[in-house]
Structure 1
């Protein structure tokens, strides 16, 4: 199923559920600015439509099993290309978006559940009117992952 057909609130609900499938409807409602009942109804609808196909336990290291890629994006207008950034901010799987110096304009990291979703996101980005080209690098292995601020886990 293509998540692009969901509205932004549904996508935010899915994003929050991917982070924590046990989040309460009340907490989820406060995060997406809806009532508990509205959140429950949206979750029920997304289950019926197949966007949510069950709840499962994933054992092992958090984040393991996800597919990630870096997109290097070239924009038509480096200065006034905020429309591209606005779309990237609306995609829940985008975990990093930096404006960088050099040949390309944006460095974007995407973490998704499948290669198909990575491709869907790439197609969405490549089709944006403000994007002239993209280069994609799939992550093969991750060896260093720190929390924001460079905090290191206790040894």
Structure 2
């Protein structure tokens, strides 16, 4: 992002909030809701993409499907010499939705999901068995209070 673009205009913040809510909204609806022309919205979207503010568009799962998923965060302690290999192996796991580097006793937090407790348990075991993983600590997510 360019240094002069660090502070987004209020209208850009509103546009981003609308896209977070539904990234498939037609530009005509975005323009009408923002009180802008379609050309202005297209230009803003293009600039936000070009500046790296928007890197892509995604899918938000339906609440019925989402409620059926069992999620966990897995804190992972990694052998330093094998950190890159371990991260690549973790990236190949389809059930992993996010991987964060953290400070403290553990090195990584993986967010994973499965449809059953047995599948989640097997997935946690699979992560623990990866080369370079020294130990893991897992917490099952019981409810999502806020998701932005």
TM-score normalised according to structure 1 size: 0.52
1:73 maps to what in 2? Answer: 76
4+ aligned runs moved over 6 Å, structure 1: none
Q: Which one has a bigger Cα radius of gyration? A: 2
1:105 maps to what in 2? Answer: 107
Structure with the larger helix share? 2
How many residues end up aligned between the 2 structures?
A: 88
Q: How does 1:23-102 map to 2 (within 5 A)?
A: 60-77=63-80, 80-102=82-104
**Aligned pair in 2 of structure 1 residues 83, 91: CA closer, same or farther (>3 Å)?**
same
SS in 2 for 1:143: coil
1:134 maps to what in 2? Answer: 136
SS in 2 for 1:81: helix
TM-superposed deviation, 1:124: 1.0
Matches of 2:63 and 2:106, distance apart in 1: 36
**Aligned pair in 2 of structure 1 residues 106, 60: CA closer, same or farther (>3 Å)?**
closer
Contact 2:90 2:96 in 1 (8 A): yes
Q: How does 1:111-122 map to 2 (within 5 A)?
A: 111-122=113-124
TM-superposed deviation, 1:75: 0.6
RMSD: 2.0
**Aligned pair in 2 of structure 1 residues 136, 67: CA closer, same or farther (>3 Å)?**
same
TM-superposed deviation, 1:60: 4.6
Unmatched tracts of structure 1, length 5 or more: 1-58, 147-155
Matches of 2:95 and 2:71, distance apart in 1: 9
Matches of 1:87 and 1:60, distance apart in 2: 30
Unmatched tracts of structure 2, length 5 or more: 1-61
SS in 1 for 2:139: strand
TM-score normalised according to structure 2 size: 0.55
